[in-house]
Structure 1
Amino acid sequence: MSRTRDLSAFLVMALLFGGAFPAIEVGLRYLPPLALAAVRYAVSAAILLTYAGATTDYWRPRTRADRTAVLAGGVFFIGGSGLTFVGQQYTTAGVAAVVFSAIPILTVLVAHVLLPGERVSRRGVVGLLLGFVGVAIVVRPESGAVAPGPGLGGGAGPLGELLVFAAALSVTVGTVLVRRSGPSMPTVALTGWAMALGAGMQVGLSAAVGESVESVRLAPAAVLAVGYLAVLASGVGFVVYFDLLSRFGPLEVNLVSYLVPVVSVVVGWGLLDEPVSASTLVGFGVVAAGFLLLKEKELAAELARYRGAAR
């Protein structure tokens, strides 16, 4: 019964996270990108902090490590992820999700630089290079591409994909810095405070680049998109993620990164009529192969442990 519940939780998490990229595409039709990001994270912060306040007494930062982690998470993890919203003006939901699937590979590289004791083997270096080759296949410049405007999933060369990749790198740096800071506060509360800080950053950046309030269009589709992103993808999705993380290792939980693009590609194709190119599928396969090579020993150990538990 517990295995069925855990498998269901993994599938729910993949569906919720995978649907976020198409929801961003829809939201961009009605709100400027940074404003959309700010609204999403502000509402999500309220949900997560309310949840944390109801489930634990330790819901506010108490130590220097807690404050450092909130700062790193807010600036790099949440703040940097705003580039995803900007980038998705020029690319499709499926392509954005495939580029984001490089995060597990980027995590190994960034941890190698920022965390003492984290080293990459020669086989791991090959896996890293293979993963970046996969990203390059997805990001390759398209000749004659013209930017069609916000939320329409077109291209301006590789601009959209490069912005999404920059967001993935920023998210990775934030994750590793949070890990290095060693906070004591519960992860849900930490994420809530980071989202509050990140939302504030998005508001400031939105004003700085001149995003206009007049460009906001209130429509049922806009409300549904923001509601999905804030309540389901971030609120429910993160709670499920943290629940699984408390019972499984990060390696197992982060494998969901390779289900998310599948969901995004299918939803984008089926509901938004987004094209799916062969290079996107090939690039995703190469990224996944790079991760398998990079984490071969860890994956083999996890598989052996699972088989042992099943006997």
Structure 2
Amino acid sequence: MFRTYLALVALGVIWGSNFIFMKWATDLISPTQTVFLRVFFGFVPLLLVAIKAKVITRQQLKHLPHFAIMSVLATTFYYYGFVAGTARLPTSIAGLLSGSIPIFTFICAFLFLRQDRPTWQMGAGVLLGFIGIAVSARPWEGVAGAELAGILWMLAGTFSLGVSFVYAQRFLSPLKIPPLALATWQTGFATLTLLVLTPFDGISAIANDQRALLGAILGLGILGTGGAFFIYYFVIEKLGPVRAAGATYIAPVVAVLIGAIVGEDITGTVILALCMILGGVVLIQTGKRNPPLAAHSKQQTTDASAQIK
């Protein structure tokens, strides 16, 4: 059990450290090029493991449209939103905004699935989370506050991921396809899409900075994408999806700490915004009505496939 919780902490650290790697990469190359490197070097290890595990089958080909849509919602656009946002914001602000993912997931599930009737506590959680987002932008500071475009890109990424959870629950969960196969198809389609859309002029500039190059390939790709999938599914198997989601709480804290280490100005306002967003997530997670016992088992299976960061 100790090893499982160690893996949970490691997952939160991986997710939280992604923002500094994005920042280093986008100082040298474009956000689109950064996303391509992340997805490609995340897809390669996933493909190798999927082939070895023999989870890719010919029967899955009939579901290619679903895989393609998920590749946009949960990989290409989601990653681009985070990279474009991080390029315009301090890593600490970008990281704490990533903590709003469960808030947008809840909103999308309520709007499109109507599965969770909100309680007053859940409503308070959504409100508190959005206040935290507003505080992180510091609009009262004018041009000295966080760049609005960066905030909007981060929120676009979190919303896209929230929509992907709804899509996965409605169209993919009933198919009972192994999560490793889904992840491989998803990142594979995203790699092909980015091969077409990415302008590669100037991408070699990242090779001039070994720190940024290793951060993009190892930090964002192999560990941040491929490795994160492996660890997350291991933790879900051992702890279940609810406790595995605890990594979501760790990542923003790690991002803020890394921001402080690299010299970013971590003010009381940043800490307050972080507490508000995480507090909103806690209120939402603990405010759900208890489902009937039979439905609870089905929901746990659904959540396992939906909570991929």
Fold match (TM-score > 0.5)? yes
- State how 1:14-93 maps to structure 2 within 5 Å: 14-58=12-56, 62=60, 64=62, 66-81=63-78, 82-93=80-91
| 1:290 to 1:94, Cα distance in 2 relative to 1, 3 A | same
Q: Which residue of 2 aligns with 1:5?
A: 3
User: What is the distance in 2 between the residues matched to 1:172 and 1:185?
Assistant: 20
| 1:156 to 1:200, Cα distance in 2 relative to 1, 3 A | farther
Give the deviation of 1:239 after TM superposition.
0.4
User: What is the distance in 2 between the residues matched to 1:27 and 1:170?
Assistant: 23
- Paired residue secondary structure (1:62): helix
Contact 1:14 1:263 in 2 (8 A): yes
Which deviates the most, 182-191 or 35-44? 182-191
Give the deviation of 1:297 after TM superposition.
4.8
User: What is the distance in 2 between the residues matched to 1:130 and 1:28?
Assistant: 31
User: What is the distance in 2 between the residues matched to 1:156 and 1:293?
Assistant: 26
- AA at the equivalent of 1:187: P
1:78-120 superposed Cα distances (whole Å, 9 cap, x missing partner): 1222121111121011111111101111111101112243322
- State how 1:24-173 maps to structure 2 within 5 Å: 24-58=22-56, 62=60, 64=62, 66-81=63-78, 82-141=80-139, 142-145=141-144, 157-173=147-163
User: What is the distance in 2 between the residues matched to 1:76 and 1:107?
Assistant: 13
Contact 1:68 1:178 in 2 (8 A): no
Q: Which residue of 2 aligns with 1:192?
A: 184
Give the deviation of 1:44 after TM superposition.
0.7
Q: Which residue of 2 aligns with 1:148?
A: none
- Paired residue secondary structure (1:34): helix
Runs of 4+ residues deviating >4 angstroms: 297-301
Q: Which residue of 2 aligns with 1:175?
A: 165
Q: How many residues align?
A: 285
- Paired residue secondary structure (1:241): helix
User: What is the distance in 2 between the residues matched to 1:119 and 1:298?
Assistant: 8
Q: Which residue of 1 aligns with 2:258?
A: 267
1:133-169 superposed Cα distances (whole Å, 9 cap, x missing partner): 1111112334234xxxxxxxxx773221221111111
Identity of aligned residues (%): 22
- AA at the equivalent of 2:184: G
User: What is the distance in 1 between the residues matched to 2:38 and 2:178?
Assistant: 22
- AA at the equivalent of 1:70: F
User: What is the distance in 2 between the residues matched to 1:214 and 1:223?
Assistant: 11
Give the deviation of 1:212 after TM superposition.
3.6
User: What is the distance in 1 between the residues matched to 2:207 and 2:28?
Assistant: 7
| 1:203 to 1:138, Cα distance in 2 relative to 1, 3 A | farther
- AA at the equivalent of 1:144: V
- AA at the equivalent of 2:74: F
- Structure showing the higher helix proportion among its residues: 2
TM-score (norm 2): 0.84
Q: Which residue of 1 aligns with 2:300?
A: none
User: What is the distance in 2 between the residues matched to 1:275 and 1:163?
Assistant: 21
- AA at the equivalent of 1:121: T
- Stretches of structure 1 that go unaligned for 5 or more consecutive residues are 146-154, 302-311
Contact 1:134 1:284 in 2 (8 A): yes
Contact 1:52 1:59 in 2 (8 A): no
1:200-229 superposed Cα distances (whole Å, 9 cap, x missing partner): 33344434xxx7436734131232111211
